[in-house]
Every structure is written in structure tokens, then in C-alpha cells.
Amino acid sequence: MENPIIVAGLVVFLGISLTIGLYVSKWVRGKSENYIVAGRGLVLPLATGALMAQAIDGNATLGNTDLTYQFGFWAGASLPIGLALCLVLTGLFFAEPLHKMKLLTLPDFYLKKYGTVTEKIASFIMVLSFAILLAGNLAACGFIAQSFLGMSYTTGVMVLALMIFSYTVAGGLISSAFTDIFQALVALLGAVAGLTFVIWKFGFHLPEGTGPLDMAQLTDFSTGAGVNWATLLALGLGDIVAIDFMERIFAAGSPRIAKQACYLGGLGTLLIGIPYSLIALIPNIKVDVAAEPFLFALIHQHLPTLISILILSSIAAASMSTANGAILATSTVLAHNVLSVGQEIKGQEEDRKLLWVSRTLAIPVTLFGILFAIYMPAPGVLLVLAFDLVFAGALAPLVFGLYWKKANAAAALTSLIGGTLIRLITFSLTPTCYGMPNKILFIPNHTFLSTINPTTGVAIWEGFPTILAPLVSVALFVAVASLTEEVSLRESLES
């Protein structure tokens, strides 16, 4: 039976989020730049909160604790650590130069640097990736509604998706930024309060072989080290090519603010995410996880009402903030880069058209996220899979495009397609997906089925494709760029 006080607390939290989002939506004022990048005027606290809230989601909280509880610290903590690493690397190498380019979306970089074809393909990959990310966060929302609001999982996904959709479409990144900073504070408070109470009640002793200093989790590939490294790399590097992160960077008031917000957002991501990993490791906590995720079992079986409300609001905050960013970024890329609205003709009429089309396309994006969340309710898996795709092919063209003078369209296109295809092929042959059965796209084959560790249920091969695909992408980029430079030089000399 649902606890009426917990229900009331969650309803209050959801009501405040919706009220903030709808209230500030009036500042869009019918301009697409306000809707997509908040008028490029976010001050440091808003930019930091937006990046931090976008990084920490239901996958890195709810999925984090489940993975840690089953496989050890690095299985779950690699989610927030990878996301924090991404923000630090983005601040060091990408925030300032990309902000100075005055881009509206990340695929605009591929258009300016490599041309229309590369832009379209990159946009398609990013849209697919972020539709999966949206699904992962809606799945976390569905679990909360199912366990604590008296709804079915499917109904919970649909109801919370509709609420997130409403304020996202109304206010775009302005609504996202202001709800993000509220939700980030709630997420931080919930994480700290939860860990503090658990340590006070159960003590703090980590079992041998599961804690942060157990390096076997990063060196013994028979017990899942490959998956842990794949998670760190997919998020730490793949998330650099995240259209929602980059929208927030483009929305910062200056290049310097964008850079500082990345560093502070990375710190905040660790402060929120790591406590959830530690909670799941404490051995004195005895919970029955047969029918629900670890955190929900902990709340039902051990935690007082106030702490429960804080933790549930924290998970809901994390999921909602990332979901609204995914809806906004995906629908905007579809409108601006796939359909090319607002690229050629400048003026008030085209600006209104971009705003209208972006809002309209948020409908099918949200519907896809709902359907995928219902089909595969696995938050932690969906987060990593989302960034695995863009890591495979889209990162190399971005890095080389910024830092290598030989970068050209032929190299970018080959790298983008080659890396992504390698990842899709290896994914379809691998029976498990980050520790869970591959229900998305698996072609039965004896070669990889035979690599499953009977103890952990994880294929030993798993994790390597995440590393292999971007390496192939880099090799293709360098090779094609070098060859095309030689051809261009030879043609120039002959002429």
C-alpha cells in the first residue's frame, strides 16, 4: 500500500517543477534562440545547474545502485564518474571554442566544418542516441510511479512524460534551466541525506572485493572489467558529443562561463552520484530485491518517510531534468538539422517556423521515448547504450575538426559511418548488453554466446566493442584525411 505522506511529498515536488517550468516559459517571447539556447544568456549558477542536472539522471542514480549492488562499486559508480569526466574534458578542450562559434545545435558544427551530408548523418545518429537516453529516464520515472504513486509502470511512464513534455515545449531551454537548478539542488540534498542516514543506522564497512579500491573490477575481464571500462569511456568521451550538454554550453553567457560551468557541473555530478554507489555497498543493509530495484526496496523496508521523500524526489529530479533536455535537444536537431528549418532564410518568419516545428516534433520524440521505455525498462543500460552510439562514430570528426588542419569532409564521413557500423554490427552479435540480455538487436551465434561467464551472466567480449568502434573511427579519419591530402596536393601540382 502506498504511503500517503510519500505520495503527497512527490506530488508537491512534481507540482513545483511544473509550476517553475510553465512560469518562466513566458520569457521565450516567440524567439527560437530563446527556446533553444535560452538567448545565450545563462549566468554561471544557471549554466552549472543545467549541466549538472543534465548529467545526473535516473540511470546514474537508480541504475547506479542496482549495478553496484549486483557487481561492485565500479559497475555503478562508473556512470557518474564517466559523466563527470566528460564535463571536465569538455571544459578543458571544447566549451570555449564551440561557444565562440555561436552554434545553435551541435550538428551545426558538422555542417560548417564538413558540409550537409555529414551534418545529416551525424544528426540521425545523435537523434537515435538521445531518443534512447530519453527512454532510460522515462523508465526511471515509471518505476517511481509504479512503486510509490499507485500507478502501473506503463501509466507512470506516460503521465510523467506528459508532464515533462508540457513545460519543455512551453519554455524550451529557459524552462529547462530554471527547473534544472531546482532539481539539481533536490538531487544533491537527497543523495547526501540518504547516505548520511544509512551510515548512521547501518555503519560504514565495505565488503572485500566490492569497494572503490578493488582494482579487479577494472582489470579482471572475466568478472566484468570490460563493461566497466566501456561505461567509463562511453560516458567520459562519448558524452562529449551530447546534443543536450552542448545546448547548455551554447546557452552560457560567455565562453568563460561555459568552461567554468563544466568544471563545477562535473564536481556536482560526483557529489550526487557517488553517494548512491556507496549506499548500495553497505553489507549490513538486508533488502529483498526480487521484485523491485535496490533503492526502492531500501525505501520500503528501512528508510523513514522524510528521507524516502528526499531520495525519491532526488531520483525523479534527476530523471526529469535529463528527459526534458533530451526532448528539447532531439526535437530541435530534427527540425534545424534534419529538416534544415532556419538554416537558409533568416528573418522573423523563418524564426517562428523553427520554433513551431521544434515544438511540434517534440510530440513524436516523446512518443518514441515512451514506447522504448515500455519495451526495455532498464535505465542504467539505456544510458550507456545511448552514448555508446555517438562515441563510436561522431567523436573523432568533432575532435579532429577542432584540432587538426588536415580534417576534411571525406575523412569525417568515412569515420562517422565506419565507426557507427562497427558498433552496430558488434552490438548485434553480443548476447548481453551491459550485464543484461540484449533484447534490442541480437543475432544468435555460438561464437559470442559461448563467452558468457556463468557466474556473472556477462559476456567476456562485452565492453571491447565500445572501445573498438571509436578506434576504428579514428583510424579511418586519419587514413582518409592523409590520402585525400596527398591526392589534392598531386592534383594541384599536375594542374
Here the CATH number for the domain that contains residue 332 is 1.20.1730.10
pLDDT range class, residue 137, cuts 50, 70, 90: confident
Question: Does residue 79 lie in a domain region?
Answer: yes
Q: What is the CA radius of gyration of the chain?
A: 22
Question: Does residue 459 lie in a domain region?
Answer: no
The residue ranking higher by pLDDT, 326 or 234, is 326
Q: What is the domain extent for residue 51?
A: 4-380
pLDDT range class, residue 453, cuts 50, 70, 90: low
Phi and psi angles of residue 151, each rounded to the nearest 5 degrees, phi first: -100, 160
Q: Quote the percentage of the chain above a pLDDT of 90.
A: 44
Question: Does residue 489 have a pLDDT over 50?
Answer: no
Question: Does residue 491 lie in a domain region?
Answer: no
Task: Count how many domains the chain has.
Answer: 1
CB-side neighbour CA atoms (13 Å) of 6: 24
The residue ranking higher by pLDDT, 2 or 172, is 172
Question: Does residue 229 lie in a domain region?
Answer: yes
What DSSP string describes 72-93? -HHHHHHHHHHHHHHHHHHHHH
CA distance 86 to 101: 20
Please say whether the beta carbons of 224 and 458 come within 8 A. Answer: yes
Question: Does residue 48 have a pLDDT over 60?
Answer: yes
DSSP code of residue 441: S
Angle of the 409-429 helix axis to the 379-393 helix axis, nearest 10: 140
Question: Does residue 430 lie in a domain region?
Answer: no
pLDDT range class, residue 43, cuts 50, 70, 90: very high
Residue-wise burial string across 117-142, b where 16 or more C-beta atoms lie within 10 A, e elsewhere: ebbbbbbbbbbbbbbbbbbbbbbbbb
Question: Does residue 103 lie in a domain region?
Answer: yes
Question: Does residue 199 lie in a domain region?
Answer: yes
The residue ranking higher by pLDDT, 40 or 310, is 40
Question: Does residue 472 lie in a domain region?
Answer: no
pLDDT range class, residue 209, cuts 50, 70, 90: low
Q: CB count, 10 Å around CB of 452?
A: 17
Among 182-191, 251-260, 321-330, which range has the highest average pLDDT?
A: 251-260
Question: Does residue 2 have a pLDDT over 60?
Answer: yes
pTM, rounded to two decimals: 0.89
Per residue in 141-171, pLDDT tens?
A: 888 888 888 889 999 999 999 999 999 999 9
Residue-wise burial string across 413-428, b where 16 or more C-beta atoms lie within 10 A, e elsewhere: bbbbbbbbebbbebbe
pLDDT of residue 143: 84
pLDDT of residue 486: 57
